[in-house]
Amino acid sequence: MWIADKWKDYEVIDTSSGEKMERWGKYLLVRPDPQVIWNTPRTHAGWKHPNGHYHRSKKGGGEWEFFDLPEQWKIRYKDLTFNLKPFSFKHTGLFPEQAVNWDWFSGKIRNAGRPVKVLNLFAYTGGATLAAAAAGASVTHVDASKGMVAWAKENAVSSGLKEAPIRWLVDDCVKFVEREIRRGNTYDGIIMDPPSYGRGPKGEVWKIEDNIHHLIQLCAQILSEKPLFFLLNSYTTGLAPAVLTYMLSVELKKFGGRVDAQEIGLPVTRTGLVLPCGASGRWESE
């Protein structure tokens, strides 16, 4: 398992009965987590006195309950600064477990010894975009949500990367890659963090089990002659690490290199154990 254990402004303090208690800077949040199927004693005072608690509804969805929580605040990871705000369906605008991948590809970019072009698909609020830009890459950031792209730009400003070579695009990721193939544009690194289900700007339906392999095939066509890395994230239960390994190995075989895939996770302070948070598949050049 790859563990994001370099955070100072974030931690999972405890987990129990379908929920996790986290510290985001100086604020405590309690949020649902489907992986937490165990029921352990809630001895930490934060369980009773969080700053925010997302209550899941039995009918689906849910709602926030707030106790002295600002509308927006910031946390840092190394040289990056992220703006957080609780919004629909329990999220805060950041997936801290991805920091383990940011560190991995940032090292690849810094050690490349040449200019590096990176494409970030389903780029959300820009964590991976900013990590790649801070490491020296020029980045194309693509997401179907105008609001998420605006949020990512805010994060870039907060991180001192306003002038970094980042292209911000609101677009359907599949259609964008198809156009890049026709235009003959290539990238040295590709990052993708696709949702299990979603819709593009014009209502295009995305279902990961049906669409992900085809998108990997398309992306293989826009990799440069000497690509550096390919990162595929999955929060979908059916896409185990071995499935990610298989797809990347088949489609990127012509580039040589090697593929590895693991669960990613976050350390839990109270128990010393690791909370699983999805899976990542990594291809890298030799």
DSSP states of 4-29: ----SSEEEEEEETTEEEEEETTEEE
Please, what is the average pLDDT of the chain? Answer: 95
For position 245, what pLDDT does the model report?
Answer: 97
Beta bridge partners of 143: 170
Task: Please compute the mean of the pLDDT values over residues 210-223 and round it to a whole number.
Answer: 95
Spell out the residues 6+ positions from residue 167 whose beta carbon is closer than 8 angstroms to its own. Answer: 139, 140, 141
Beta pairing, strands 19-24 & 229-234: unpaired
User: What is the pLDDT confidence band of residue 199, given thresholds at 50, 70 and 90?
Assistant: confident
Main-chain dihedrals φ then ψ at residue 60, nearest 5 degrees: 105, 150
The string of pLDDT tens digits covering residues 143-193 is 999 999 999 999 999 999 999 999 999 999 999 999 999 999 999 999 999
Does 88 have pLDDT greater than 80?
no
Q: How far apart are the first and last CA of the chain?
A: 21
Q: Is residue 110 within 8 Å of 84, Cβ to Cβ?
A: no
For position 163, what pLDDT does the model report?
Answer: 98
For position 89, what pLDDT does the model report?
Answer: 80
DSSP state of 223: B
Main-chain dihedrals φ then ψ at residue 272, nearest 5 degrees: 75, 5
User: Which alpha helices (DSSP H) does the chain contain, by range?
Assistant: 99-110, 127-134, 146-158, 173-183, 208-220, 241-251
Q: Could you tell me the two tokens for 47?
A: 């369980």
Give all domains of the chain, ordered by start, each with its CATH number: 2-71 (2.60.40.1180), 96-284 (3.40.50.150)
- Helix-helix angle 208-220:241-251, to 10 degrees: 30
Does 102 have pLDDT greater than 90?
yes
For position 206, what pLDDT does the model report?
Answer: 73
pTM for the structure as a whole: 0.94
- Helix-helix angle 127-134:146-158, to 10 degrees: 40
User: What is the pLDDT confidence band of residue 267, given thresholds at 50, 70 and 90?
Assistant: very high
For position 169, what pLDDT does the model report?
Answer: 98
Report the distance separating Cα 168 and Cα 165, nearest Å.
Answer: 10
